[in-house]
Chains A and B, each alone.
Chain A
Amino acid sequence: MKTKRETIEARVPKGEMRIVPIVWFGEGDRAVKARVVLDKPGSSAKVLCLFFAKKGKFDLHTEIVHDAPNTFSRTLIKGVLDGEAAADYEGSVTINKGAKNADADLNEHAILLSSKARANAIPRLEVLENDVKAGHGATVGKVSDEEIFYLETRGLPREEAKKLIVRGFLDSFVNEFPKEEAENIRAQLPRL
């Protein structure tokens, strides 16, 4: 059965910054679409998404449209998938003509911890203005053997080392969230 998609829409006033936080802990299937239109000069937005899950399916769409000069956006997705959890991500950034000096970056990083977890990503960058900075990056992979080995040489058991690295991967990101979400995430993290 298809999960009903929640939609989040944001418009940002001139010169202001908006954060759109999204979190998922695998409590059930979830589908979210977040759309931010930056049509006022100097407006900026951060779409932040953090997820970790052992089961369930997460379907995330993000869309940012730069439609005014000096607009700034960051889309940052970080997630850890274990068990049979699956994540489908579609992210788009459009910089329309006239959005001079726009600065956009779209990044997603996923760690897969089990052989049954899976992650799909379709990032999309559409740029119609040249006086801009636009970048995109993605990584998908497991926890690096070298990092685990290093911690093992320091006396940590393998499982402990792995956990620590995953925590580190997410922890650094938690502080970017608004206070309420950050607390919520910290409360959930020990479940990892």
Chain B
Amino acid sequence: MAKTTIAPIAEHGRTGGSTALPERFIYRAKPGISREVVETISRMKNEPGWMREFRLNAYEEFVRLPVPTWGPDLSGLDFQAITYYQKTEERRYKSWKEVPADIKNTFEKIGVPQAERAFLAGVIGQYESEGFYQKLRGKWEEKGVIFCDTDTAVQKYPEMVKKYFMTECIHASEHKLAALHGAVWSGGTFLYVPAGVHIDMPLQTYFRMNARASGQFEHTLIIVEEGASVQYIEGCTAPLYHNNSLHAAVVEIFVKKGARSRYTTIQNWSKDVYNLNTKRAIVEEDGIQEWVGGSLGSKVTMLYPCTVLKGRGSRAEHLNIAVAGPGQHKDTGAKVMHLAPDTSSNIVSKSISFGGGISTYRGLLKIVKGAKGSRSHVQCDALMPDNISQSNTIPYIKVNEEDVTLGHEAKVGRISEDLVFYLMSRGLTEQEAINLVVQGFMEPIAKSLPLEYAVELNRLISMEMEGSLG
């Protein structure tokens, strides 16, 4: 097999420094949000009436709900300056040969086609608002796996979408951004794994936001039926324009009895993107949901993947790393609700703040009455290599049941001078020594990533931090 270089998250290196291509579109909504824009999106997509109704109801909620003020400052976000919908292609391509050259080049630089050949079971590519490429290996198609963009799913599998789309897991009325998402959502992944099917290669979707002051609102819906298992990876990037852009995605995952799902995302948005997402999984009896996340880039990120442990013996694993550099505010964490007996959760959160960046761990752990024998452990480690940054830890803990085991620990610290000195005495330069210490710090997260991603993540973080340490 030919050796391929895969750079799934970085393009030419530095986060958010990627080159912008000329903007491409065949239809583009006028900036701002209104009932009319919402109706236009629905019409352009030729959606059934129920989805149009759903969007309009969500729009009403959006107008009604206030901008959340309990977290990072969102005052720089102007909902009327953003373009909510931008369609670039008339159809979905089945082969990279059909994909127009400029999009293809972008994705080749990121390494998506190469990765597909090397280690993926299926790929969806999304450019601006909608998917343009989708491919699932025939072997899985035969077993009844569905892997397509969510717009296609609305047309082809309306009953399934109608059943699961923002009905049970996440509601549009929860908060302003969920409502906005409900009104203008476009693209995303629809993944259905039939009972008992184990997909042994990961599936991947890659989102690219290329236009200026735009928004991406992809909706990902994953349904893993009884005893099935799947690994899904999402990657995201956008070039830098110095106009505030918005990414407000929703991810809903249903893990049925005895099923297992792993959702991995590495987000490397440019430093003008507000990255405000809502992600949640409902896990039934003996099911397992794993979240592995790397949050790089972006201006403000608010992301707290949530697992609802609904069935007895269900389990949640949350692994997250957030990197906050100059001008960045990362407000991330994990939420776990233990609603049934013998449920367990493990949360590991790592953050690095440097160059004036602010990182906050904000988590919620709730154990309701009757969730007997539940266990949970939360670990938050923060690294502050310099002295102009900030690191916060705010874990909310609510326990209404006595028969539980719950532990939480948090540590904030800098890079130990002794460690760096030791490594330098073994012949490493100071920068190499620091990189090694940082890599060791991130190891628990990196080792849960596919190898190509782990290598890339390490490389990205060391590049980000290079020269910014005194």
**Residue ranges of A at the interface with B (Cβ–Cβ < 8 Å):** 97, 110, 112-115, 117-142
Contacts and interface: CB of A to CB of B under 8 A. Distances in A.
A127 B409 contact: no
Given A112-B404, A133-B413, A135-B411, 9 more contacts: A118-B399, A123-B395, A124-B392, A125-B412, A135-B410, A136-B393, A140-B406, A141-B402, A141-B405
Contacts, number: 106
Contacts of A112: 399, 401-402, 404
B387 A142 contact: no
30 contacts: A110-B399, A112-B401, A112-B404, A114-B402, A118-B369, A118-B398, A123-B395, A123-B397, A124-B392, A124-B393, A124-B394, A125-B392, A125-B394, A126-B391, A127-B412, A128-B390, A129-B387, A130-B385, A130-B389, A130-B413, A131-B387, A133-B413, A134-B413, A136-B408, A138-B409, A139-B406, A139-B408, A140-B397, A140-B404, A142-B402
A2 B166 CA distance: 38
A137 B406 CA distance: 11
B403 interface: yes
Interface in B428-442: none
Nearest to B391: A127
A114 B404 CA distance: 11
B407 interface: yes
B388 to A, nearest CB: 8
Contacts of B221: none
Given A142-B402, A142-B403, A122 B413 contact: no
B88 to A, nearest CB: 44
B402 A117 contact: yes
A54 B386 CA distance: 48
A83 B398 CA distance: 17
B302 to A, nearest CB: 17
A110 B392 CA distance: 23
Closest A-B pairs by Cβ, 9 of them: A112-B402, A130-B384, A136-B410, A125-B393, A138-B408, A121-B397, A130-B414, A134-B412, A118-B400
Contact of A132 (B392, B395, B412): B412
Contacts of A130: 384-387, 389, 413-414
Contacts of B387: 97, 129-131
Nearest to A117: B402
Nearest to B354: A130
A55 to B, nearest CB: 15
Nearest to B389: A130
A139 B407 contact: yes
A contacts with B: majority SS: strand
Contact of A122 (B369, B394, B407, B411): B394
B382 interface: yes
Nearest to A143: B402
Nearest to B415: A130
Interface of B: 369, 382, 384-387, 389-414
B396 A122 contact: yes
B392 A126 contact: yes
A49 to B, nearest CB: 16
Contact of B410 (A115, A122, A137): A137
Contacts of B389: 128, 130
A113 to B, nearest CB: 6
Contacts of B404: 112, 140-142
A137 B407 CA distance: 7
Contact of B398 (A115, A120, A128): A120
A4 B389 CA distance: 38
Nearest to B390: A128
Contacts of A119: 397, 399
Contacts of A115: 369, 401-403
Contacts of B393: 123-125, 136
A123 B411 CA distance: 13
Nearest to A106: B410
Contact of A127 (B392, B396, B402, B406): B392
A120 B409 contact: no
Nearest to A144: B405
B206 to A, nearest CB: 36
A18 B411 CA distance: 24
Nearest to A94: B392
A129 B386 CA distance: 8
A124 B361 CA distance: 10
Nearest to B413: A133
A10 to B, nearest CB: 24
B332 to A, nearest CB: 15
B328 to A, nearest CB: 16
A53 to B, nearest CB: 14
A25 B364 CA distance: 28
A125 B410 contact: yes
Contacts of B410: 123, 125, 135-137
